[in-house]
Amino acid sequence: MTEAPNLLQLGGMTDLMQSRLSEAFTVVRLADQPDRAAFLAERGAEFTAAVTDGHAGLPADVMEAMPNLKLVSSFGVGYDAIDADAAAARGIIVTHTPDVLNDEVADTAILLWMAASRRLVAADRWARSGAWERKGAFPLTRSVQKRVVGIVGFGRIGQTIARRATAFDPTILYHARSDKGVEWEFCPDLTDMARRSDVLMVITPGGAGTRHLVSEEVIRALGPDGILVNVARGSVVDEAALVRALEDGGLGGAGLDVFEAEPKIPDALKAMDQVVLAPHVGSASVETRAAMANLTCDNLFRFFEDGSVLTPVPECRHLT
């Protein structure tokens, strides 16, 4: 019988992934090693593949300690915690799980927008607390109909959000690195797009290149009636500037699924009725997480079968 190849695990793993991968690999969890550096120095060369997620990524010291690494299969569409350019330069293929989570994340963005605009969470508290009986009707809220929706980032998920939003008869604008040649209006100036928008949906990749792309200037341009929705990465939005604008009325509300130092969320945001908070659950449905898990596993199986993969990240496509 052929010995099962070693697979280094970084980050968490779903039960489905654990079940599928343990049948084909000897899975070794890096987190279980009492001395990570010593373990990598002694055994790093044994691994040709690693499995990770968008949070754990692949730290530089781990990549350096694995001279025979050929594949990193990541659970999640975002891979800013992996230096894909450095990996590609070393001949390492990085894969991720695009497409299978487009619908779920887009639905979450729309849900956060509606909840923030109609102040659903605050209304729920009003009903549960007995304020309805004591104080009367809940204050009026803002409609989501016929709004100007600006989308920051217009890849697969951004375009899915646009299609979802058409149900509300909006004007849709988008900001991206280039004009996508689609039916909606391309806005090369993000601040100008924010100024024109009623709601700003953020779904651009994370990483150094987009850090604080949604700056204080952009947030203030959105204005006192505007709503910011972030289902991208917490680093894309200047969180301190966001808090200031919400506190002083410079921004009307927010629906946030991601945060700069998650799982830590600023106490100021927790205290605001005009803000809806979610614990990074954009793709967290049973069905979507199963699809992501299967694709993560399938990339590994395909690679060990014939050297190809299903969904390489753009930086690594030339290696497949």
Residues 173 and 269 in one domain: yes
Q: Are residues 242 and 294 in the same domain?
A: no
Domain count, the chain: 2
**Rounded-to-integer distance, Cα 236 and Cα 225, Å:** 21
Write out the catalytic residue numbers.
233, 262, 280
For residues 41 and 56, state if they share a domain: yes
Domain range enclosing 258: 102-277
Domain identity same for 237 and 296? no
Return the pLDDT at 110: 98
Residue 282 belongs to a domain: no
Could you count the other beta carbons within 10 Å of the beta carbon of residue 49? 22
Say whether both 207 and 261 belong to one domain.
yes
The per-type count for the chain, helices as H runs and strands as E runs, is 13, 12
User: Domain check: are 78 and 46 in the same one?
Assistant: yes
With a CB cutoff of 8 Å and minimum separation 6, the contacts of 12 are: 53, 56
Q: Are residues 130 and 267 in the same domain?
A: yes
Residues 255 and 241 in one domain: yes
Q: Whole-model pTM?
A: 0.92
Q: What is the pLDDT of residues 91-134, one digit of tens each?
A: 999 999 999 999 999 999 999 999 999 999 999 999 999 999 99
Q: Domain check: are 85 and 35 in the same one?
A: yes
Q: DSSP string covering 33-88, please?
A: -SSHHHHHHHHGGG-SEEEEETTT-B-HHHHHT-TT--EEEEESS--TTB-HHHHH
Q: Which position has the token pair 């130092």?
A: 261
| Residues 231-275 pLDDT 10s | 999 999 999 999 999 999 999 999 999 999 999 999 999 999 999
- Is the residue at 1 inside a domain? no
What is the average per-residue pLDDT within 198-202? 98
| 286-306 helix and 15-22 helix, angle to the nearest 10 degrees | 20
pLDDT band at 2 (very low <50, low <70, confident <90, very high): low
In a domain, 125, yes or no: yes
Q: H or E stretch including 272? A: none
CATH number of residue 296's parent domain: 3.40.50.720
> In terms of domains, do 250 and 302 share one?
no
Looking at residue 315, what is its pLDDT? 95
pLDDT at 1 over 60: no
Instruction: Based on the fold, state whether residues 24 and 162 are members of the same structural domain.
Output: no
